[in-house]
Structure 1
Amino acid sequence: MPQSPPLSSASSSSAVSASGSSPGRRRTSPPLHSTLLREDFDEVLESEVFVDVNKLRKYARHGIPDEIRGEVWKYLLGVEKPDRSNEFTQRRARFESYQEIDKENVEVSKRVRGEVNRYLMRTKKESFLNPHTAPAIFDIVICAYINCNNHVEYSPALVPACAPFVITMDNDCDVYSCFERLANVLHESSQEKNINKRVAQFLSYFRTLMPELYNYFEEEDLDVGEWASSWLRYLLSKELPTPSVLSLWDVYFAMPDYIEFHPFVCLAILKHLKDSLEDLEQSEIRSVLLRLPKMNIGRIVSQAHNIRSEIQARYNLSMSPRS
């Protein structure tokens, strides 16, 4: 398969090593279903004429093998085009466009580096990123994005939102291209009028679906707006463990409406944690909601589909003449 145009040696090598695993990390043979899944993906990705993105979406809903996640995400996000007749030309144009971007921003860079260090400390047990090389990739990519989007203010949350791409992509050009696609969507959905509406709607669904837990949060004087806004703005990249984020985003990038679907995933997580949360006090609840445990994303997504159907049925019923 043709490769992306090479970056400069320094940039390329740092990007590759940023997500490298520890030399001592054990490698295990994948289970049979993973092998079969990889074969399905390979059949699509190795097509010489046209990459069937619809098939990639279908397969991605069940998870993407780690070693090809970056390649698949590029197609799902529209960074790579399905028509391969001009593949090299398109990649070269994207690379040259990226090279022209100003990647220096002293003020933002200092803040990015500090937040990346905190992120690496928080996730060091996961061993997904090389602490020596990853900070430079975050710095380059986020500064480039801010410089190209003057209407966007830097937020520490951009670091965990960028991390999955640093982990999965082979070079900083691809990291930037994918991160830019997602960041633009998140920025639009997080505009004040949009996020306020989304939080209000989410809390309405929460109160309807789980009134006991909602009331318990109120009794504990929990600032619902704090965690709900964070959950909704950045697709749980700040709160979920990295493996769960990667699995969840596999599903999201395969969907045309993942921003609209996301609140139902958040509700499914609350439902999953309901019993344990009701045994905790305010500070403990807050800690759990801001640092969620690892969970079975497949089950959460399945529950989210059920919740969406239930909510739609309830709201349709409430608007019917007989209600």
Structure 2
Amino acid sequence: MSRSPPASSESSSSAVSVSGSSPSRRRASPPLHSTLLREDFDEVLESEVFVDVNKLRKFSRHGIPDEIRGEVWKYLLGVEKSDRSNEFTQRRARYESYQDIDKENVEVSKRVRGEVNRYLMRTKKESLLDPHTAPDIFEAVICAYINCHNHVEYSPALISVCTPFVITMQNECDVYSCFERLANVLSESSQDNNIKKRVAQFLSYFRMLMPELYNYFEEEELDVSEWASSWLRYLLSKELPTPSVLSLWDVYFAMPDYIEFHPFVCLAILRHLKDSLEDLEQSEIRSMLLRLPKMNISRIVSQAYNIRSEIQIRYSATMSPRS
């Protein structure tokens, strides 16, 4: 079930989707901005001695070209080291380590395959996954993760968190390494007491910034903790359309504090959808919050920065001693 390691540095750098997209299917004349952006990334990635991750972070904030997203993410997540002097040795060691992991887990395998098949059926027209290869990759990666992290219980949300890596990376070992990095961060930030505090803080901000919408949710007896907890736990991987998740995570992985920044993105989404949500009834609101529409992530992130500044100013004014 495992994939063989890349034979060379060059082949491992080809971050093509598992859907089998080929260069010939790309647009013949990409926009000038896209061309310049790709050239910036290529200049950094093609360095023979040292990959400047700080430059990759800077460029990634404006989005990463689809065909190199997987390669860039590996550096942003720390899976690939910036020093390339021992690159092949490190990759070989990572591959061999992954090969040694037990990937057999009958109960988890059955649940993973069921969830992946349901996901593929639900997203048949717009799915970026290859239905022939994706189930095997999900099964191997998630079973390996569960077997290596005994404190983690299987959740269907793991499929959503893993999906962007399956889409952007060809090599199963790379999928596992990046998924493990992110899943560990999310697991740590979602410890029982911590997630309760994060949800409470988020709802406090929500009430302060958008009292009309917050009160409307209460009038409609919407279970706020249901959607808010999921939004905060899994970086909107369950709720946003996959292309929007990819764009959002480009920005997040370029940040040192994306877990702390994430609630402001969630608030920006609520503000963006406010008028639409206020026209809906309880069941319709719930459906929209659990299946968000595609949106302009750049604008959402920009709005999130504004919201964070707005909240900081309000709290500073509240905490300032009165004259």
TM interval, shorter chain, is over 0.9
| Residue in structure 2 matched with residue 256 of structure 1 by the alignment | 256
Q: What one-letter code is carried by the residue in structure 1 that aligns with 2:127?
A: S
Alignment of 1:269-280 (within 5 A): 269-280=269-280
Alignment of 1:122-133 (within 5 A): 122-133=122-133
| CA deviations over 1:50-79 (Å, ceiling 9, x no partner) | 000000000000000000000000000000
Cα displacement (A) at 1:315: 1.1
| CA deviations over 1:8-58 (Å, ceiling 9, x no partner) | xxxx9xx97733249997745321100100000000000000000000000
Cα displacement (A) at 1:317: 1.2
Q: What one-letter code is carried by the residue in structure 2 that aligns with 1:20?
A: G
| CA deviations over 1:193-231 (Å, ceiling 9, x no partner) | 110000000000000000000000000000000000000
Q: Structure 1 residues 116-125 or 172-181, which shifts more? A: 116-125
| Residue in structure 2 matched with residue 111 of structure 1 by the alignment | 111
Residue 101 (str. 1) matches residue 118 (str. 2): no
CA RMSD of aligned residues (A): 2.0
CA contact (8 A) 2:76 2:253 kept: yes
What is the aligned length? 314
CA contact (8 A) 2:49 2:83 kept: yes
Residue 202 (str. 1) matches residue 194 (str. 2): no
Q: What one-letter code is carried by the residue in structure 1 that aligns with 2:40?
A: D
Give the secondary structure class of the aligned counterpart of 1:124: coil
| Residue in structure 1 matched with residue 81 of structure 2 by the alignment | 81
CA contact (8 A) 2:103 2:147 kept: yes
| Residue in structure 1 matched with residue 219 of structure 2 by the alignment | 219
User: What is the rounded CA distance, in whole Å, between the counterparts of 1:201 and 1:103 in structure 2?
Assistant: 38
| CA deviations over 1:229-262 (Å, ceiling 9, x no partner) | 0000000000000000000000000000000000
Q: What one-letter code is carried by the residue in structure 2 that aligns with 1:176?
A: Y
Q: Structure 1 residues 240-249 or 312-321, which shifts more? A: 312-321
| Residue in structure 2 matched with residue 267 of structure 1 by the alignment | 267
Gaps of 5+ in 1: none
CA contact (8 A) 2:17 2:168 kept: no
Q: What one-letter code is carried by the residue in structure 1 that aligns with 2:280?
A: L
Alignment of 1:181-200 (within 5 A): 181-200=181-200
Change (3 A) 1:250 1:144: same
| CA deviations over 1:161-197 (Å, ceiling 9, x no partner) | 0000000011100000000000000001111111000
| Residue in structure 2 matched with residue 176 of structure 1 by the alignment | 176
Cα displacement (A) at 1:80: 0.2
Q: What one-letter code is carried by the residue in structure 1 that aligns with 2:198?
A: R
Identity between Structure 1 and Structure 2 (%): 89
CA contact (8 A) 2:18 2:130 kept: yes
CA contact (8 A) 1:146 1:154 kept: yes
| CA deviations over 1:102-130 (Å, ceiling 9, x no partner) | 01100000000011111112222223111
Output the TM-score relative to the length of structure 1. Answer: 0.93
Change (3 A) 1:222 1:285: same
Output the TM-score relative to the length of structure 2. Answer: 0.93
